[in-house]
Structure 1
Amino acid sequence: MNYIIFGGSGFIGTHLIHLLKETHPTDNIYCLDIVMPGEEGVVPGIVEKNDEVIYERIDVRKKIEYEIKTTEDDVVFNLAAVHRTPGHEDYEYFETNIRGAENVTEWCEKHNIKKVLFTSSIAPYGAAEEEKSEDNLPTPNTPYGISKLVAEKIHQGWADKNSAQLVIVRPGIVYGKGEHGNMTRLYSGLKGHYFVYTGRKDTIKACIYVKELVRFFLWSLENGKTGVWNCTFEPAFTIEQIVQTMESATGLKTWVPLIPGKLLMGVARVVGHLGGKVVGIHPARVKKLMISTNICGKKLAACGYKFHYTFEETFVDWFEDCDRQTLE
């Protein structure tokens, strides 16, 4: 059997490959990505190419000509995306996320693939304080969110046409070893005593541990699930709860001040012009901290999937993966 991962060299793909090697050691694993392990921008974890994984350099923005012998039992994971915001020109999100969805599903149809998992995003919901479930009408307000919603529709069209199993996952903030994103910056800010609460402490930040996420990937496909799934702890945690849990798990003891949001935005605008984007002090990032990502995880909680980690255990496990020195 083949597990074919488009975008497999990234953060989530790296952890998925680790899990597949552990749980399906006799199956073939294909990592198809524009970058390879060890290259710039690739998540540490699989530092060098592994003999048990088949690597091929593939650019999903172009027609995919790669040929392998497939069966109807094979699984395709489409993780390939341009996702970091801010960080890209608007057209880059559409070029990779939409064109990539078209090319991957065309390849799946050509090779008679009947099982696909697509990682979307919570960005199609748009920025809002109200809780968002899978039944809410998507109202994306960023190029990234729009591109991901269109990509979902492309995958759904393929599944309907081919009577195939399709799982669309909308993860909250995904964290764990190799993330180098929001949670990593939060830990660095706490450890360096420069993180502050931006205007409020009750901002909801729906999130999921990367090892839990990839376990759900396999479980959903192996248990015949279809449709759209929010992937987050239920209920979602506030930024204050996240800070307290992270500190407890890693032994940090800090005092976090509450700074008025308008004041911090003003500072970010000034520092941003002085290179603030490089150090993470950027108006767009500050604004994101003040808006909740209030994503409902009730469907996941009720589907029969059993979480392997409590919230605090996720940070303990991540800390252990980093030799109890840091979170990175």
Structure 2
Amino acid sequence: MNYIIFGGTGFIGTHLINLLKKEAVKPGDIIYDLDIVMPGEEGVMPGVVEKIEGVKYIRCDVRKPIDLDIATSTDDIIFNFAAVHRTPGHPDYQYFETNLYGAENVTAFAVERGITKILFTSSIAPYGAAEGLKEETTLPTPNTAYGISKLVAEKIHEKWQAGDPKHELTIVRPGVVYGKGEHGNFTRLYWGQRKHYFFYPGRKDTVKACIYVKELARFMKYRMIDNDFPGVDVFNCTFEPAYNIEQICTEMQKATDMKRFIPLIPGWILMTAAVCLVPFGGMKWGLHPARVKKLMISTNICGKKLAESNYKFHYTLEESMRDWYEDCNKEGLL
């Protein structure tokens, strides 16, 4: 059996590969990491994403038709992580170019090779930015190029699944994903508290649905390897109920043996500062108007469907924070 991972050199893909190596790969199985960048290259975080023994790395650009000189079988499994995702950060066309062409080319590759199982990592961005609770059945109203591109990519994968009743498609919509190698929201939150420059932006009760990267990888293994689920299903991947920013900060401090007082700054002050500092490199400090706006709006994502499935979580929020902290400390990353 082959595990064919598009975008496998990224944050989530690397953790999934490590899990597969430990718990899934049998003699004769091969893991293929297909990515536009390879471990150790520019744009890949050194010391975090390194080549893993036994994994076959192949440079692959999903924006182009996929022609790989590898032997495949109908038992193989595709994990599609390939995406342009950081927002803000890219021109609008780049989200569509990679995320739409990528979905079309990956599903075309599956048809050509007769592969019947795909897991597609989408996003909560298709729901759009709004305070209301979002379930898997909530009508998507994306308001960014990234969110629109991800929603269309979901539909492309669903069209592939509808082409044959034997096709298995799992679409995951993770909340904020954190863990070793993330270098995003949670890493900035940790250092902001540690160095006394984080403050609550406008409010303390902003819901920030999240999931630990190792938990997400385990759910992927549960869906695609440990079980068979013919048809198509969509899962919000978050803790249930979702935590707010004050709860996350409290648990992070407990897990990392840190005690900090966090002040609250009115939202209008932050937005004014972000607008004024953009021409002077405000993005370096996370002060971009779009990012500040994201901080003050809840990502209130319902994880009830996942919680009520047969999948059992391995980590509480505090346990996951402690595990992340220990992983990073081993390599001097925090």
TM-score (norm 2): 0.95
Q: Deviations over 1:208-253 (max 9, x none)?
A: 0000001000101232234110000000000000000000100111
CA distance in 1, matches of 2:55, 2:332: 29
Amino acid at match of 1:12: I
Equivalences for 1:91-110 in 2 at 5 Å?
A: 91-110=93-112
RMSD, matched Cα: 1.4
Which of residues 189, 192, 209 in structure 1 aligns to 2:192?
189
Measured after TM superposition, the shift of residue 257 of structure 1 is 0.5
SS at match of 1:193: coil
Measured after TM superposition, the shift of residue 270 of structure 1 is 1.5
Question: Is 2:21 aligned against 1:18?
Answer: no
Structure 1 residue runs of 4 or more that deviate by more than 6 Å after TM superposition:
324-327
Native 8 Å contact 1:134 1:229 kept in 2: yes
CA distance in 1, matches of 2:210, 2:54: 31
Q: Which moves more between the two structures, 222-231 or 318-327?
A: 318-327
In the other structure, the counterpart of 2:72 is: 70
In the other structure, the counterpart of 1:180 is: 183
SS at match of 2:119: strand
| 1:14/1:44 CA distance change after superposition, 3 Å | farther
Which segments of 5 or more consecutive residues in structure 2 lack a partner in the other structure?
Answer: none
Q: Deviations over 1:70-119 (max 9, x none)?
A: 12211000000000001000000000000110000000100001000000
Amino acid at match of 1:41: G
Which of residues 237, 245, 248 in structure 1 aligns to 2:251?
245
CA distance in 1, matches of 2:21, 2:219: 16
SS at match of 2:138: coil
Which segments of 5 or more consecutive residues in structure 1 lack a partner in the other structure?
Answer: none
Amino acid at match of 1:182: N
Equivalences for 1:62-141 in 2 at 5 Å?
A: 62-141=64-143
Question: Is 2:236 aligned against 1:209?
Answer: no
In the other structure, the counterpart of 1:223 is: 227
| 1:92/1:200 CA distance change after superposition, 3 Å | same
TM-score (norm 1): 0.97
SS at match of 2:5: strand
Which of residues 41, 44, 50 in structure 2 aligns to 1:39?
41
SS at match of 1:130: coil
| 1:34/1:294 CA distance change after superposition, 3 Å | same
CA distance in 2, matches of 1:21, 1:250: 29
Amino acid at match of 2:204: K
Measured after TM superposition, the shift of residue 324 of structure 1 is 6.7
SS at match of 1:293: coil
SS at match of 1:69: coil
CA distance in 1, matches of 2:53, 2:266: 53
CA distance in 2, matches of 1:258, 1:210: 29
Q: Which moves more between the two structures, 34-43 or 1-10?
A: 34-43
CA distance in 2, matches of 1:309, 1:246: 14
Q: Deviations over 1:169-223 (max 9, x none)?
A: 0000000000010101111111111111111000000000000001000101232
Amino acid at match of 2:211: I
| 1:148/1:47 CA distance change after superposition, 3 Å | closer
Q: % of aligned pairs identical?
A: 65
CA distance in 1, matches of 2:271, 2:162: 46
Amino acid at match of 1:223: N
| 1:227/1:313 CA distance change after superposition, 3 Å | same
Amino acid at match of 1:278: K
CA distance in 2, matches of 1:115, 1:257: 48
Measured after TM superposition, the shift of residue 327 of structure 1 is 6.3
Question: Is 2:273 aligned against 1:267?
Answer: yes
Native 8 Å contact 2:124 2:175 kept in 1: yes
